[in-house]
Amino acid sequence: MTENIVRIAVYLASFALCMYALSALDFNRFLKKGKIMEAQFLMILLAMGLGALVAQFLLALQIVN
Protein backbone atom coordinates (compact mmCIF):
# COMPACT_ATOMS: atom_id res chain seq x y z
CA MET A 1 0.00 0.00 0.00
CA THR A 2 2.76 2.43 0.93
CA GLU A 3 4.62 1.59 -2.27
CA ASN A 4 1.60 2.58 -4.35
CA ILE A 5 1.33 5.92 -2.56
CA VAL A 6 5.03 6.61 -3.14
CA ARG A 7 4.66 5.63 -6.81
CA ILE A 8 1.72 8.01 -7.29
CA ALA A 9 3.58 10.81 -5.49
CA VAL A 10 6.62 10.33 -7.75
CA TYR A 11 4.44 10.46 -10.87
CA LEU A 12 2.64 13.61 -9.71
CA ALA A 13 5.85 15.34 -8.68
CA SER A 14 7.56 14.52 -11.97
CA PHE A 15 4.51 15.77 -13.90
CA ALA A 16 4.56 19.03 -11.95
CA LEU A 17 8.29 19.49 -12.51
CA CYS A 18 7.92 18.80 -16.23
CA MET A 19 5.08 21.33 -16.48
CA TYR A 20 7.32 23.86 -14.76
CA ALA A 21 10.24 23.08 -17.07
CA LEU A 22 8.12 23.16 -20.24
CA SER A 23 6.68 26.54 -19.28
CA ALA A 24 10.08 28.01 -20.14
CA LEU A 25 9.58 27.09 -23.81
CA ASP A 26 7.78 29.42 -26.19
CA PHE A 27 5.33 27.11 -27.94
CA ASN A 28 3.82 30.05 -29.84
CA ARG A 29 6.95 30.17 -32.01
CA PHE A 30 6.30 26.67 -33.30
CA LEU A 31 2.51 26.80 -33.68
CA LYS A 32 0.08 28.76 -35.79
CA LYS A 33 -1.16 32.10 -34.52
CA GLY A 34 -4.36 32.01 -32.50
CA LYS A 35 -4.01 28.34 -31.51
CA ILE A 36 -3.68 28.98 -27.78
CA MET A 37 -5.84 26.08 -26.64
CA GLU A 38 -3.95 23.64 -28.85
CA ALA A 39 -0.62 24.93 -27.52
CA GLN A 40 -1.76 24.40 -23.93
CA PHE A 41 -3.02 20.90 -24.78
CA LEU A 42 0.32 20.10 -26.43
CA MET A 43 2.17 21.32 -23.35
CA ILE A 44 0.05 19.12 -21.07
CA LEU A 45 0.57 16.06 -23.28
CA LEU A 46 4.32 16.65 -23.44
CA ALA A 47 4.48 17.12 -19.68
CA MET A 48 2.55 13.89 -19.09
CA GLY A 49 4.78 11.92 -21.43
CA LEU A 50 8.01 13.39 -20.13
CA GLY A 51 6.79 13.11 -16.54
CA ALA A 52 5.97 9.43 -17.02
CA LEU A 53 9.43 8.78 -18.44
CA VAL A 54 11.12 10.64 -15.58
CA ALA A 55 9.00 8.83 -12.97
CA GLN A 56 9.74 5.42 -14.50
CA PHE A 57 13.44 6.25 -14.48
CA LEU A 58 13.36 7.37 -10.86
CA LEU A 59 11.36 4.34 -9.75
CA ALA A 60 13.74 2.03 -11.62
CA LEU A 61 16.59 3.41 -9.49
CA GLN A 62 15.01 1.93 -6.38
CA ILE A 63 17.29 -0.42 -4.51
CA VAL A 64 15.62 -3.82 -4.28
CA ASN A 65 16.37 -5.80 -1.13
Kindly state whether residue 51 falls inside one of the protein's structural domains.
yes
- How do the pLDDT tens digits run along the chain, 65 residues long? 888 898 999 999 999 999 999 888 887 777 788 888 888 888 899 999 999 999 999 989 876 64
Kindly state whether residue 32 falls inside one of the protein's structural domains.
yes
> Counting beta carbons within 10 angstroms of the beta carbon of residue 55, is it exposed (0 to 12), middle (13 to 18) or buried (19 or more)?
buried
Kindly state whether residue 65 falls inside one of the protein's structural domains.
no
Query: Cα separation of 55 and 58, whole Å?
Result: 5
The domain total for the chain is 1
Query: Cα separation of 4 and 30, whole Å?
Result: 38
Which range marks the domain in which residue 48 is found? 2-60
pTM of the full structure: 0.80
For 30, list phi and psi in degrees, rounded to 5: -95, -10
Single-letter amino acid code for the residue at 19: M
